[in-house]
């Protein structure tokens, strides 16, 4: 029996386990299970894998998408460029345990967003600066959008929420929530945006999928904006992760990265 799972700190919000359980039933995959691994920190991450030889692949969620890199042996080029990992492939060869990090969030987000864009979508505000934000920014640049990050604490090249005004909101047609704000159970939580400046010309994308319509998306809908939640992205990244875990390619890295 091969075991896959999700590693994070608090996992009650996640539907990944349910997605894979339904996938295994739907596709008659009888030799696999998917489990949640809630960890207070990553100190025991490699020990978890060492002591359970049936674990063949893991997804990584908040708040560990960046920190997990320090516990891996190598990175896929996309993950290295992004600086965040949400998928780990586990290879065991004789006495060697090798953990390689991938980022399936980026491609999943890119392909979910692509058909929603039109000729007016040239600039994007990305709310948040964590691991999910890094994947989003990478994808937006591949789609030729100019990206501005908005964070609670000022960083080089980013804005804070207090910087946002009518001109900035009007000049960024795409606004993406790459934070967990509004996610279950804090479904009424909102980021401090000047919501009154949203219009029908905006596209709001929330990586959160639980609840289906977050307070962020509700504000967009009320303004007449187009909205999209993270459910399709979740499905896409799950299928990309499955492809990674079942790839037969194996390389012995000469160094950690």
Q: Which CATH number fits domain 2-104+234-245: 3.30.465.10, 1.10.3720.10, 3.20.20.110, 3.40.50.10860?
A: 3.40.50.10860
pLDDT mean over 49-57: 94
Q: Say whether 250 sits in a helix, a strand or coil.
A: coil
User: Does position 218 have pLDDT exceeding 70, yes or no?
Assistant: yes
User: Does position 252 have pLDDT exceeding 50, yes or no?
Assistant: no
User: Does position 233 have pLDDT exceeding 60, yes or no?
Assistant: yes
User: Does position 255 have pLDDT exceeding 60, yes or no?
Assistant: no
Residue 100 bears catalytic tag = no
What's residue 253's pLDDT?
A: 39
User: Distance between CA atoms of 88 and 95, rounded to whole angstroms?
Assistant: 19
Question: Where does 106-233 sit in CATH, by number?
Answer: 3.40.50.720
What's residue 157's pLDDT?
A: 75
What residue spans define the domains of the chain?
A: 2-104+234-245, 106-233
Helix spans in 59-171 (H)? 77-82, 104-113, 131-142, 166-171
User: Distance between CA atoms of 89 and 75, rounded to whole angstroms?
Assistant: 10
pLDDT mean over 68-77: 97
Catalytic residue among 3, 9, 17, 65: 65
The residue behind tokens 């359980």 is 21
User: Does position 254 have pLDDT exceeding 60, yes or no?
Assistant: no
pLDDT tens per residue across span 82-135: 999 999 999 988 778 999 999 999 999 999 999 999 999 999 999 999 999 999
The yes-or-no answer to whether 2-104+234-245 and 106-233 have a common fold is yes
Work out the number of other CB atoms within 10 angstroms of the CB of residue 246. Answer: 12
Query: b/e map of 147-165 (b: 16 or more CB within 10 Å)?
Result: bbbbbeeeeeeeeeeeebe
pTM over 0.85: yes
pLDDT mean over 10-26: 92
Q: What share of the chain is helix, strand, coil (3-state, %, to 5)?
A: 35, 25, 40
pLDDT tier for residue 249 given thresholds of 50, 70 and 90: low
User: Distance between CA atoms of 20 and 34, rounded to whole angstroms?
Assistant: 7
What's residue 247's pLDDT?
A: 86
pLDDT mean over 68-93: 96
């Amino acid at each position: 029996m091969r075991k896959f799972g999700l590693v994070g700190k608090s996992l009650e919000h996640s539907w990944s386990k349910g997605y894979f359980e339904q996938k295994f039933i739907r596709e008659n995959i009888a030799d696999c299970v998917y489990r949640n691994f809630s960890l207070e920190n990553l100190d025991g991450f490699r020990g978890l894998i060492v002591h359970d030889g049936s674990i063949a692949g893991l997804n990584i969620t908040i708040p560990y998408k960046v920190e997990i890199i320090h516990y891996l042996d190598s990175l896929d080029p996309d993950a290295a460029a992004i600086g965040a990992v949400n998928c780990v492939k586990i290879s065991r060869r004789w006495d060697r345990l090798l953990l390689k990090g991938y980022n399936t969030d980026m491609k999943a987000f890119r392909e979910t967003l692509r058909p929603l864009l039109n000729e007016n979508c040239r600039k994007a505000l990305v709310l948040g600066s964590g691991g999910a934000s890094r994947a989003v920014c990478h994808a937006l640049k591949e789609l030729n959008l100019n990206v501005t990050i908005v964070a609670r604490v000022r960083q080089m090249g980013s804005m804070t929420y207090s910087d946002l005004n009518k001109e900035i909101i009007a000049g960024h047609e795409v606004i993406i929530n790459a934070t967990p704000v509004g996610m279950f159970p804090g479904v009424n939580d909102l980021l401090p945006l000047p919501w009154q400046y949203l219009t029908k010309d905006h596209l709001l994308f929330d990586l959160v999928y639980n609840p289906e319509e977050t307070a962020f998306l509700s504000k967009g809908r009320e303004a007449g904006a187009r909205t999209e939640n993270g459910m399709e992205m979740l499905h896409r990244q799950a299928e990309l992760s499955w492809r990674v875990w079942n790839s037969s390619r194996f390389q012995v890295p000469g160094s950690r990265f």
